[in-house]
Amino acid sequence: MEKIPTSRQGGTLLKSQSTADVIASSLRVDISLGKLIPGAALRQEDLAERFAVSRIPVREALRRLESDGLVEVFPNRGAFVVRLTITELTEITDLRVLIEGDLILRSVPLLTPSDLSVIRTASSAARRESTSPAWAAADLAFHEALYSPSKRVRQLSLFRSLRLAIQRYEAVYRRLPEQRRRWLEDHDSIVRACSEGDARDAHRKLVDHIQSAGAFLIQCVERSTAKAR
């Protein structure tokens, strides 16, 4: 099986991974950080040159990303980073409200002092990373800390899947400063409600946080779509 000893960016790659694994993993990171924006073309010849491999493992990597819902592959047109419609973004926001809202209602009554410490640490980390490309991962870690005490394994998996679906949009648009203070204030208010053991208040604040973030992403997509016309 073909291996990649090094990347074009100079880093040593894990030799225990297949070439397709390495390429798929690298592209997932690029998508999640917004380096590859929704709708971006993924040309096999360019990727083969970037990773210094043939097109065979590139095609396999793209198939894996397609199965993850991150890439669309069209016959005779090529592969593109998935671009969600306004309807799909709205649906994802609605599902997040249902799933994450239920998770926090279940989680808060079970919180231990150790759990609260993890939540506060994650909130502080998100604040530190709020102006960096690591913001999306730090924000996800904060929400993970909020919900993990619920022990709802399948529901947590659904939460992660929905976040993955919109993470590339968050990476692109959450770089904008106009909403950053609001998101951090939301985090602080959610942490306070959790510290007080008030599940209903935590739920209300979380739902408002999710809905306002979803509305902001939709607004940004609408603006970019209008500019493209």
- Note whether residue 5 is domain-resident: no
- Note whether residue 125 is domain-resident: yes
- Note whether residue 35 is domain-resident: yes
Say what the pLDDT of residue 216 is: 87
Say what the pLDDT of residue 10 is: 41
DSSP category for residue 11: P
- Note whether residue 47 is domain-resident: yes
Residues 47, 27: one domain? Answer: yes
223 vs 202 pLDDT, higher one: 202
| Domain ranges, residue 155 | 86-228
**pLDDT digits 0-9 by tens, 28-50:** 888 877 788 888 899 999 999 99
Domain end (from 53, 81, 109):
81
Lowest mean pLDDT among 3-17, 25-39, 52-66: 3-17
* Tokens representing residue 14 in the block: 């894990």
Domain end (from 33, 64, 81):
81
- Note whether residue 13 is domain-resident: no
- Note whether residue 6 is domain-resident: no
Residue 72 has pLDDT above 50, yes or no: yes
Q: What is the CATH number of the domain that holds 209?
A: 1.20.120.530
* Tokens representing residue 17 in the block: 């991974």
Which contiguous run of DSSP H or E holds residue 204?
A: helix 199-228
Residues 77, 90: one domain? Answer: no
Residues 193, 113: one domain? Answer: yes
Residues 112, 169: one domain? Answer: yes
Phi, psi of 216 (to 5 degrees): -65, -45
Residues 214, 130: one domain? Answer: yes
Domain end (from 36, 56, 81):
81
Residue 7 has pLDDT above 80, yes or no: no
pTM of the model: 0.75
Lowest mean pLDDT among 51-55, 174-178, 213-217: 174-178
Residues 25, 133: one domain? Answer: no
Residue 4 has pLDDT above 70, yes or no: no
Residues 188, 112: one domain? Answer: yes
Domains held by the chain: number: 2
Residues 74, 92: one domain? Answer: no
Q: How far is CA 66 from CA 72, 79, 126, in A?
A: 6, 9, 30
How far apart are the C-alpha atoms of 147 and 142, rounded to whole Å?
A: 9
How large is the greatest C-alpha to C-alpha distance in the chain, in angstroms?
Answer: 57
Percent of the chain having pLDDT more than 90?
A: 59
**pLDDT digits 0-9 by tens, 137-154:** 889 999 999 999 999 999
Phi, psi of 78 (to 5 degrees): 110, -165
**pLDDT digits 0-9 by tens, 88-134:** 999 999 999 999 999 999 999 999 999 999 999 999 999 998 887 77
Residue 54's SS3 state is: coil
Residue 202's SS3 state is: helix
Residues 104, 169: one domain? Answer: yes
Average pLDDT along the chain: 86
